[in-house]
Chains A and B, each alone.
Chain A
Amino acid sequence: MTLVPIQLYLILGAVLFTIGAVGVLVRRNVIVIFMSIELMLNAVNLVFVAFARQWQSMEGQVTVFFVMTVAAAEAAVGLAIIIAAFRNRETVNADELNFLRW
């Protein structure tokens, strides 16, 4: 039940990615920023799977496997950092977590 042109999947992926990117840029709550990043990763996963189906090669799905693993690791460490920063500054506002400011 397919015969959907692959472009549609690709555009859907682009849409999701852009939504995630805008979320990263606009929201101030670092947790929400993180979630937007996860959204971007998932958009990429979609594109990979679509292409795997197109070329009928399992490599795409293996890549998705790795992306998921890395996303998991990244989420774990990133949230740990957020917790540590929260202990320091009592806030999750990205503006106030400006440790790298001049």
Chain B
Amino acid sequence: MHAAATPVQFLWLIPALPALGVLLNIFVGPRAGRGAVNFVSPAVVGVSFALACYTFMRLLDLPHGAALVQDVYPWITAGTLDVHVAFHIDALSGVMISIVTGVGFLIHVYSTGYMHEDAGYARYFAYLNLFMFSMLLLVMADSLPLMFVGWEGVGVCSYLLIGFWYDKEANASAGKKAFVVNRVGDAGFILGIFLIFWTLGPGTHSLRFTEIAAYASKIPPHTVTVITLLLFVGATGKSAQLPLYVWLPDAMAGPTPVSALIHAATMVTAGVYMIARLNFLYILSPTSMTVVATIGALTALFAATIGLMQNDIKKVLAYSTISQLGYMFLGVGVGAFSSGIFHLMTHAFFKGLLFLGSGSVIHGMSGEQDMQKMGGLRSYMPITCWTFFAGTLAIAGFPPFAGFFSKDAILGAAYGSEHGSVWLWVLGLLAAGLTSFYMFRLLFLTFFGECRIDEHAKHHLHESPASMTMPLIVLAILSLIGGWIGLPEHWLWGDRFGEFLAPIFSGAYASEHLSAGTESVLMGASVVAAAIGFGVAYLFYLVQPGLPMLLAWKAKGAYNLIFNKYYVDELYDLLFVRSTLALSTFFWRAVDSEVIDGLVNGTARVVNANGGLWRRLQTGNVQHYAISMLLGAVVILGYYALR
């Protein structure tokens, strides 16, 4: 991390343009009309994307491992704290801003089509632009506090966007749930920041990543573990891992492009980015690494099992996201930071594609989301169907699609790294098989097989407009070729992606540790797992549609358990929600109503009573006043007489 830092002056424009979009949408949007908003909002993101590409070009010109920086303004200078608003673009952030602005731009374009009948379009695009702004702050920040600002900002935006159709209580509750669960994670994150500040010792601190990295080796080992675990708590909240994943399935209440942007491509990946950014801290604590990897692997498997049985198309994708995020954490947990980021990138492509595709389906089905009422859509919505197929192949991990390379890199690292173990690899493999199964299940139920659509919906069924299908096509192409920059070492040009990011991850696991033979075996195993998943899904849903029902009836207990998501929500409700509500009610009734209101109202009553007493002086009788005047004169005379 002793990279050369080149100061530039244009970095602030990248987040500033979406911020400008926010202001325009709020103040001018409703009056300017749908056309203007539909043009401006994607445009600002598009320009940001262009700037991000330009930044990337500049970065490529610099020597390996260098960074572009810009100090915008000194923000907090108080005592030993000297935090600036400043941006730092190195290879890692360069990749992140490209993903964020690129996929964000496609989703903005898609939204112009998807939301074209909605009355709140200006508000929607304002929130969407605000989200882009916060996310860009998060990934471009050069210090922990600024990153945290972006972290909170994306949390707020996810609340706003999940509860976008807030007139339905379920949607508003989902937004609240997302925000509250995130907050629990953020508490851990903030404690982590405080602990870092406290351990940094005497002298002024800016909490820049470079500064922390320079000091990292001097931090006592147990403290490092605590710090990294606290920060990871924040990551579990933001990136929906066990135990704080419960908000993400509910978050499907928001508009589908929002799900695509926030929950697939950008926000949920913030946790992974954070760990990658602070890799120098995590490397110092093998305990934390193990925790991260284990939770990641467990989450991957856990979520995959739930996804098997969901009937709502978006819920399946939601659990799939949680599962894939588990993979990313598994990757960074075993030290393969660049693999984790690689999977983040490929996941952005194929998960974004899958969500947007499902949005297209929902749009065409006039709002229907239950897969049991779909089927055979291939003939009605061909573009959606085949792009979706590409996405499914990618997520299942079939070569040469993108998902294969990234997932395989992670599984290989899980097997071979000193932080990993065979068990982690086994969990990952199982999850991969399940992933393939449920994704093909989704595909077959929706697009193939017998048509179970009811007549009324069939009338409105149509392929989506170009504003929606163009992004699908672009993402499908990316899902195919996106993985080719991170090929396994011995293939063609090797892992260019990993090499590009290498200077940032100095202590990372290097894949040279595995022999070519082992690697091939592992790769073969994942392909086989994916194929088994495909096969079983084909059997269950195309050949013998009655089979799943039979199995479910035979294993009723297990089926019910998994179908009800292991009753985790109910457990949390019992443990945490009820007690908190009871406490709040107590504080409301006893403290707020009685004590505080009592004090305030009591003060008013005292003043009132006092006034009531003194107003009797105003008798309206002039002679009473005259007596007081004479008395006053007597007093004055007396005073002077007796002096």
Which residues from chain A sit less than 8 Å from chain B, CB to CB?
21, 24-26, 28, 33, 94-95, 98-102
Contact B623 A100 (CB under 8 A): no
User: Whose C-beta in chain B lies nearest to the C-beta of A18?
Assistant: B630
Contact A101 B618 (CB under 8 A): yes
Give the contacting residue for A101; candidates B620, B623, B630; CB below 8 A.
Answer: B620
User: Whose C-beta in chain A lies nearest to the C-beta of B619?
Assistant: A101
Contact A102 B630 (CB under 8 A): no
> At the interface, yes or no: B615 with Cβ under 8 Å from chain A?
yes
The 7 closest A-B pairs by CB, nearest first: A101-B620, A98-B620, A102-B618, A100-B620, A102-B615, A25-B627, A25-B623
Show 10 A/B contacts (Cβ-Cβ < 8 Å), sorted by A: A25-B623, A25-B627, A26-B623, A33-B623, A100-B620, A100-B622, A101-B620, A102-B616, A102-B619, A102-B620
**A residues near B626, Cβ cutoff 8 Å:** 24-25
Contact A94 B619 (CB under 8 A): no
**B residues near A102, Cβ cutoff 8 Å:** 615-616, 618-620
Most A C-beta atoms less than 10 A away, residue of B615, B620, B626, B630:
B620
**B residues near A99, Cβ cutoff 8 Å:** 620
Q: A98 and B623 in contact (CB under 8 A), knowing A21-B630, A25-B630?
A: no
Contact B618 A24 (CB under 8 A): no
Chain A nearest Cβ from B35, distance in angstroms: 65
**A residues near B623, Cβ cutoff 8 Å:** 24-26, 28, 33, 94
Q: What 14 additional pairs, Cβ within 8 angstroms, besides A98-B619, A100-B620, A101-B621?
A: A24-B626, A25-B623, A25-B626, A25-B627, A26-B623, A94-B621, A94-B623, A98-B620, A98-B621, A99-B620, A101-B619, A101-B620, A102-B615, A102-B619
CA distance A35 to B301 in the complex (A): 106
**A residues near B622, Cβ cutoff 8 Å:** 94, 100
Chain B nearest Cβ from A38, distance in angstroms: 15
Interfacial residues of chain B within 553-592, with CB under 8 A of chain A in the complex: none
Main secondary structure of the interface of A (DSSP, over half): loop
**A residues near B620, Cβ cutoff 8 Å:** 98-102
Main secondary structure of the interface of B (DSSP, over half): helix
CA distance A95 to B623 in the complex (A): 9
CA distance A101 to B623 in the complex (A): 13
Q: Mark B626-638, 1 if CB is under 8 A from A, else 0.
A: 1100100000000
User: Whose C-beta in chain A lies nearest to the C-beta of B624?
Assistant: A25
Chain A nearest Cβ from B610, distance in angstroms: 14
Chain A nearest Cβ from B421, distance in angstroms: 87
CA distance A102 to B620 in the complex (A): 7
User: Whose C-beta in chain A lies nearest to the C-beta of B621?
Assistant: A98
**B residues near A25, Cβ cutoff 8 Å:** 623, 626-627, 630
Chain B nearest Cβ from A93, distance in angstroms: 11
CA distance A95 to B620 in the complex (A): 8
Chain B nearest Cβ from A66, distance in angstroms: 23
Chain A nearest Cβ from B322, distance in angstroms: 71
CA distance A24 to B616 in the complex (A): 22
User: Whose C-beta in chain B lies nearest to the C-beta of A95?
Assistant: B621
CA distance A52 to B430 in the complex (A): 123
User: Whose C-beta in chain A lies nearest to the C-beta of B612?
Assistant: A102
CA distance A100 to B616 in the complex (A): 12
CA distance A42 to B621 in the complex (A): 25
User: Whose C-beta in chain A lies nearest to the C-beta of B630?
Assistant: A21
Contact B618 A100 (CB under 8 A): yes
CA distance A22 to B235 in the complex (A): 89
Chain A nearest Cβ from B207, distance in angstroms: 64
**A residues near B615, Cβ cutoff 8 Å:** 102
CA distance A25 to B620 in the complex (A): 14
User: Whose C-beta in chain A lies nearest to the C-beta of B627?
Assistant: A25
CA distance A101 to B616 in the complex (A): 9
Interfacial residues of chain B within 328-385, with CB under 8 A of chain A in the complex: none
CA distance A52 to B630 in the complex (A): 27
**B residues near A100, Cβ cutoff 8 Å:** 618, 620, 622
CA distance A81 to B627 in the complex (A): 22
**A residues near B616, Cβ cutoff 8 Å:** 102
CA distance A94 to B620 in the complex (A): 10
Most B C-beta atoms less than 10 A away, residue of A26, A94, A95, A102:
A102
CA distance A25 to B619 in the complex (A): 14
CA distance A33 to B616 in the complex (A): 24
User: Whose C-beta in chain A lies nearest to the C-beta of B618?
Assistant: A102
**B residues near A21, Cβ cutoff 8 Å:** 630
**A residues near B630, Cβ cutoff 8 Å:** 21, 25
User: Whose C-beta in chain A lies nearest to the C-beta of B617?
Assistant: A102
Chain B nearest Cβ from A59, distance in angstroms: 25
CA distance A67 to B630 in the complex (A): 21
CA distance A102 to B612 in the complex (A): 10
User: Whose C-beta in chain B lies nearest to the C-beta of A27?
Assistant: B623
CA distance A26 to B621 in the complex (A): 12
Interfacial residues of chain B within 599-618, with CB under 8 A of chain A in the complex: 615-616, 618
Interfacial residues of chain B within 430-445, with CB under 8 A of chain A in the complex: none
**B residues near A28, Cβ cutoff 8 Å:** 623
CA distance A73 to B58 in the complex (A): 95
Q: Mark B434-465, 1 if CB is under 8 A from A, else 0.
A: 00000000000000000000000000000000
**B residues near A101, Cβ cutoff 8 Å:** 618-621
Chain A nearest Cβ from B630, distance in angstroms: 6
Chain A nearest Cβ from B516, distance in angstroms: 101
Chain A nearest Cβ from B217, distance in angstroms: 80
User: Whose C-beta in chain B lies nearest to the C-beta of A22?
Assistant: B630
CA distance A27 to B482 in the complex (A): 107
Most A C-beta atoms less than 10 A away, residue of B616, B622, B627:
B622
CA distance A24 to B626 in the complex (A): 8
User: Whose C-beta in chain A lies nearest to the C-beta of B633?
Assistant: A21
CA distance A101 to B625 in the complex (A): 12
CA distance A26 to B619 in the complex (A): 16
Chain B nearest Cβ from A12, distance in angstroms: 19
**B residues near A95, Cβ cutoff 8 Å:** 621
Q: Mark B487-504, 1 if CB is under 8 A from A, else 0.
A: 000000000000000000
User: Whose C-beta in chain A lies nearest to the C-beta of B620?
Assistant: A101
User: Whose C-beta in chain A lies nearest to the C-beta of B625?
Assistant: A100
User: Whose C-beta in chain B lies nearest to the C-beta of A33?
Assistant: B623
**A residues near B618, Cβ cutoff 8 Å:** 100-102
CA distance A98 to B623 in the complex (A): 11
**B residues near A98, Cβ cutoff 8 Å:** 619-621
Chain B nearest Cβ from A28, distance in angstroms: 8
**B residues near A33, Cβ cutoff 8 Å:** 623
Chain B nearest Cβ from A39, distance in angstroms: 14
CA distance A102 to B617 in the complex (A): 9
Chain A nearest Cβ from B351, distance in angstroms: 75
Chain A nearest Cβ from B584, distance in angstroms: 45
Chain B nearest Cβ from A14, distance in angstroms: 11
